[in-house]
Structure 1
Amino acid sequence: MLATITITIMLLTPGGTVPSGPPHTDKITHALMFAVLAYCSRYARLSPIVTVAWLAVYGIVTEVLQATIAVRRSGSVWDWCADLVGVAIGLAIAAAVGRRVRAGRTK
């Protein structure tokens, strides 16, 4: 829950207050944030399908909010695509950690 609140604040912070970086840094940032959310969702024992579903909807909602109410922000389909890439990365990391933990228990 804390991760979701923190990331929502980050996504809706007025534009221009976040330092710019190399090209596409924002896409990498989106992917990393959503990887964290996906990992946390799996840690909370949400299924992969539920994780993908809620994060896909959350990504759409945050992009719409950026386009409509956030100051100096714009919504982007490409940001949402980066969000989904992050979800896939987070799910893959959670699966790898889960396998490693289960393997450690059987020794």
Structure 2
Amino acid sequence: MDGGARRWWTAAAVVSLLAHLGALYWPVVTVAGPVSGTDKVVHVLLFAVPTYLVGRLVARPGWVVLGFAVHSIISELSQHLFLTGRSGDPWDVVADVAGVALAALALVVGSHPRR
């Protein structure tokens, strides 16, 4: 990866991490209208995007994947225990881990040279 591409990936990773942390740890989240399954889609994206972007930047992306998988549990426990306007949801952890798994798959597929 050349310098320009690396800077782009780094900037994208930083922005996605800030969105990730903001969405997970903002004290109160108010959603107008029916939430239905969109909440779970957001959780998948909140974990898939930064896992993939950070994973592209490091030599050992497996550690990134593991870190985000562990963080999925920590974030929901933190919401439940420490953020009074939030609640932890085990199904959010499932969606978070699904996002991490999708990113891991994309990292593995993207790391193999094309024939």
Structures share a fold, TM > 0.5?
yes
Normalised by the shorter chain, which TM-score bucket?
0.7 to 0.9
Q: Indicate whether 1:36 and 2:49 are aligned.
A: yes
Task: Tell me how far apart the structure 2 counterparts of residues 76 and 46 of structure 1 sit (CA, whole Å).
Answer: 33
1:51 aligns with 2:64: yes
Counterpart-to-counterpart distance in 2, 1:55 and 1:40: 12
Residue 78 of structure 1 corresponds to 91
> Partner of 1:12 in structure 2?
25
- How far apart in 2 are the matches of 1:50 and 1:69? 27
d(CA) in 1 for partners of 2:29 and 2:67? 25
Aligned length: 101
Match of 1:67 in 2: 80
Question: Which residue of structure 2 lines up, in the alignment, with residue 23 of structure 1?
Answer: 36
Query: Structure 2: which 5+ residue stretches go unaligned?
Result: 1-13
Task: State the identity %.
Answer: 28
Query: How far 1:65 moved relative to its partner?
Result: 1.6
Structure 1 unaligned residues grouped into runs of 5+: none
Q: 1:45 to 1:2 in 2, by over 3 A?
A: same
Q: How does 1:82-93 map to 2 (within 5 A)?
A: 82-93=95-106
CA distance in 2 between partners of 1:21 and 1:97 (Å): 36
8 Å contact from structure 1 (residues 8, 62) kept in 2: no
Flag the structure with more relative contact order, 1 or 2, with Cα contacts below 8 A and sequence separation at least 6.
1
**Which residue pairs with 2:3 in the alignment?**
none
Structure 1 residue 92 displacement after superposition: 1.5
The answer as to whether partners of 1:31 and 1:85 remain within 8 angstroms in 2 is yes
Asked whether the 8 Å contact 2:52–2:106 carries over to 1, the reply is yes
Q: Give me the CA root mean square deviation.
A: 2.2
Quote the offset at 1:58 in angstroms: 1.2
Scaled by the length of structure 2, what TM-score is found?
A: 0.72
Q: CA deviation at 1:4?
A: 2.1
Q: TM-score, normalised by structure 1?
A: 0.76
